[in-house]
Structure 1
Amino acid sequence: MKILVIHQNFPGQYKHLVPALAARGHQVVALTPKVQKPVKWHTVTILPYEIKGQSTPGIQPWIADFETKLLRGASCYRAALDLKHKGFEPDMILAHHGWGESMFLKDVWPKARMGLYCELYHVTSETFVAFDPEFQKPSPELDPLRIRMKNLNNRLHEEIMDAGISPTRFQANTFPPEWRDRITVAHDGIDTDVVRPNPDATLEVTDGRILTRDDEVITFINRNLEPYRGYHIFMRALPEILKRRPNAHVTIIGGDEVSYGARAPDGKTWKQIFIDEVSDRVAPEDWKRVHYLGRVPYERFLAMMQVSRAHVYLTYPFVLSWSLLEAMSAECAILASDTEPVREALTEGETGWMVDFFDKERLVDRLCALLDDPEERARLGRNARAHVREHYDLRTRCLPQHVEWVESLMALEPRPPRD
């Protein structure tokens, strides 16, 4: 079977699936703007496409997001035409359509089955758009209109999607009913053989100090430090955490950019805004126990999880972070926000503890209680790892589900593009 894979940051979510498909004898070709020239990876041919065109200066903000996706879609379409002219006819197209790249590929190959990675449909309910009133837009009554426009890319893909796959029920259920009967829920998978507890783990932090399992280490992770992942809540709790835990070290992983939501105002970063907000309540000697590691190689991330005594995970009702499941797989004792995506993966009192997202005082109290109870931490950690191994293990569960889903697509009648 010939398979074309599309991802703006290839391999992305296809990191494990693509090599598995190639190993089963399928011919796999990938299109991505990430490479500058053709390369080979796990016998997979990776081809570049160039994003042509620029966003229109001063364009209406609601359409700016779609214009960016349209530019990617048109650029990927041109690369696909070139691939077709060279004789490549895929039986199947796998794509993360979130950046618009796959928008016109059924126009090139109408007989190919299209399987989409369905990460999120933007929902207009207050649970989503008004979850955190502090960061609500100046004109909240316009939010449903803005969000509806944000879903243009999703809606155009719904017409040509033969099947979809989504990592969690929460994410799948954000999509409208006409999508859901075509979406399979299967997580990307956690390699629990790699992400595992290590009593001998060490972590060098910013001042050259080496932290181990003997230290009281509190961990917090965002891809980028921002409100969607509760960075502001954690930082507002930080002065009291440091006061009540005089021997604790707080290690924080995350970049200065924005993954979700709005950018920080006035050219600042969310990281610095909330450091500044609490700085007068943290003594200089206590700041020395707070270690910002930035973005780190995976091995350093793993070491941080393995020395963690308590891991704090906060999120809006949004895409569930891999880092939560990885922390669970490393047998971390988890304190997480009681939000819908978290409740799907973690059970209060069994695999972790939960607190209301906005209740920073309760967060401090429960964190301190967890740090004071080594037997409870050990029990939660063991249960968390067992849960991940049973439901989210890459090799025994998730990867076989994804391979089966891909190969089942060939039984479907492909949907042609619509006028």
Structure 2
Amino acid sequence: MWEKLRYTGRNRDYVGYVFMKILFIHQNFPGQFKHLAPTLAEKGHEVVCLTLRVKEPSLWKGVQVLPYSIQRKPSQGLHPWLVDFETKLLRGESCFVAARKLKAEGFEPDVIVAHPGWGESMFLRDLWPNARIGLYFELYYSNNDNDVGFDSEFSKFDQQTDTIRLRLKNLNNMMHQQIADRGICPTEFQASSFPEEYRQIIDVIHDGIDTDVVRPNPDVRFSLSDGTVLDRGDEVITFVNRNLEPYRGYHVFMRALPELLKARPDARVLIVGGDEVSYGARPPKGQTWKQIFIDEVRGRIPTKDWERVHFLGRIPYDQFLRLLQISKAHVYLTYPFVLSWSLIEAMAAGAPIVASDTAPLKEVIRHGETGRLFPFFDGARLVEEVCTVLDSAEMREALGRNARRLAVDTYDLQGVCLPRQLDWIDRLFEMSPRPVRT
């Protein structure tokens, strides 16, 4: 407990501990700040958030959550290369209007923490020149060793025009680099996508996984909608995406499914994910990627085998954890793009991982140690690696144990990531704010 010494008006000082006014900006708050923001509020800081997610002011875990709304509609007939930036510009303007109202009411943040990906924080340095600004830099767009042009089936890459288009897509990153005092990025792969002038201010700190909650459970049970109850004795193969789409390798997994079911006649395949699109190209109008690839492979799968495939949609978090805990082979693929939280959660749960050998995975999956890797487009190798894992209880145990150890040592929320995030906030507060560029 801190003994109250004095109140200065701007910050309350308790035995050398300075209480800050902190403004979070995230279009879908809390997003990546779901642990950091409430922890700061719990420690006594005044924490406010501006977001599109709510319509009315509310209080969430000590955080004052305030709405903002889009002020104007997009232009008609705009050059297609500028549509992306205009969308971000509109959000930046709208957030600026809401922030100006907040300033007029007397709120002067010491620290602003924002996810700049949607453009919202673009003009906040102009409004609060004395605030220290920390940004969650997620990815810098490039046609080198990145997602662009990686999968020619869904992206027809043109070296010249795509280079120009991506440079324009990075306008938002460029605008934010000019106002950032520090940056934070969850993985080395994502940080490495940024040019050197960004890297100089970026700290690699993951959002964190609560490994006390996400842990192995030998007594786990998982119930299917038909009443079937699975336990650790069953052969369960799992595949999880937020949405079932090519960016996360859903098409590769589905195309491998006929041979996988044939090779594992007793296996149950549990697939989690929605029908929308999180990243990349949208399917033809009126269709979903999920159904497109079901239709592509269904004729090659006998009905008896198809009955062992279970599409679960999106499921509550407690069911999601049981799914990971019961998995004997968890398959994860991704383009060279941001790494899903679900992969680290699967590792923390002790699930044996079979993953694509794309760059984000190589940061956490060491072949034969913390998982098994296969070439992203090689469905036959996917089947081979899954079978290798399923055929050896000793291997599964070792892979799961090693994966959990890495998750605990590197990505644990309370022991590693959250303390580093809090230290990042403290260091940000101690900096001199960057001057406004005119």
TM class by shorter chain equals over 0.9
Distance 1:129 1:138, change over 3 A: closer
Farther-moved stretch of structure 1 (159-168 vs 210-219): 210-219
Aligned to 2:326: 307
Amino acid paired to 2:93: A
The alignment status of 1:160 with 2:179, answered yes or no, reads yes
User: 1:135 is matched with which residue: 136, 142, 154?
Assistant: 154
Q: TM-score, normalised by structure 1?
A: 0.98
Q: Which has the higher contact order (CA 8 A, sep 6+)?
A: 1
Give the C-alpha shift of residue 205 in structure 1. 2.4
Query: After TM superposition, where is structure 1 displaced by more than 3 Å over at least 4 residues in a row?
Result: 138-141
Amino acid at match of 2:149: A
Give how far 1:300 is off: 1.2
2:5 counterpart residue number: none
- Structure 2 residue runs of 5 or longer lacking an equivalent are 1-19
| Alpha-carbon shift at residue 137 of structure 1 (Å) | 2.3
Q: In 2, are the aligned partners of 1:113 and 1:409 still within 8 Å (CA)?
A: yes
The residue identity in structure 1 corresponding to 2:380 is: E
2:69 counterpart (50, 53, 61): 50
* 8 Å contact kept, 2:148–2:157: no
Q: Indicate the structure with greater helix content.
A: 1
1:52–1:75 Cα contact (<8 Å) kept? yes
Residues 359-383 of structure 1, C-alpha deviations (whole Å, 9 max, x = no match): 1111111111110111100111011
Aligned to 1:277: 296
Aligned mates of 1:127, 1:79 — CA distance in 2: 35
User: Is 1:206–1:291's contact at 8 Å kept on the other side of the alignment?
Assistant: no
Q: State the Cα deviation string for residues 106-132 of structure 1 (Å, max 9, x = none).
A: 111011010000111111226432221
Output aligned runs, 1:287-306, within 5 Å: 287-306=306-325
Conserved 8 A contact 2:220-2:326 = yes
For residues 163 and 42 of structure 2, what CA distance do their matches in structure 1 show? 45
Partner residue, 2:11: none
| Partner residue, 1:7 | 26
Matched, 1:26 2:26: no
| SS in structure 1 of the partner of residue 398 of structure 2 | helix
How much does 1:206 deviate? 3.7
Tell me the SS of whatever aligns to 1:316: coil
Partner amino acid for 1:132?
D
Which stretch of structure 1 is more off in the superposition, 121-130 or 301-310? 121-130
TM-superposed deviation, 1:201: 1.6
2:430 pairs with 1:411: yes
Question: Unaligned regions of 5+ residues in structure 1, if any?
Answer: none
Q: Output the TM-score relative to the length of structure 2.
A: 0.93
2:254 to 211, 224, 235: 235
Aligned to 2:6: none
How far apart in 1 are the matches of 2:187 and 2:276? 26
Distance 1:140 1:409 in 2: 39
Between the two proteins, what is the percent identity of the paired residues? 60
Q: CA deviation at 1:58?
A: 3.5
Work out the number of aligned pairs and report it. 419
Query: 1:365-376 maps to which residues of 2 (within 5 A)?
Result: 365-376=384-395
The partner residue of 2:227 within 208, 229, 237 is: 208
Aligned residue for 1:323? 342
User: 1:264 maps to which residue?
Assistant: 283
Deviations 1:115-167 (A, max 9, x none): 00011111122643222122222745421111111111111000001100000
Out of 128-137 and 154-163, give the one that drifted further: 128-137
- Match 1:221 to one of 232, 240, 252: 240
Structure 1 residues 329 and 126: CA distance shift in structure 2, 3 A: closer
| More deviation, 162-171/35-44 | 35-44
**Does the 8 Å contact 2:143/2:149 carry over to 1?**
no
RMSD between aligned residues: 1.2
Residues 1:47 and 1:266: Cα distance change in structure 2 (over 3 Å):
closer
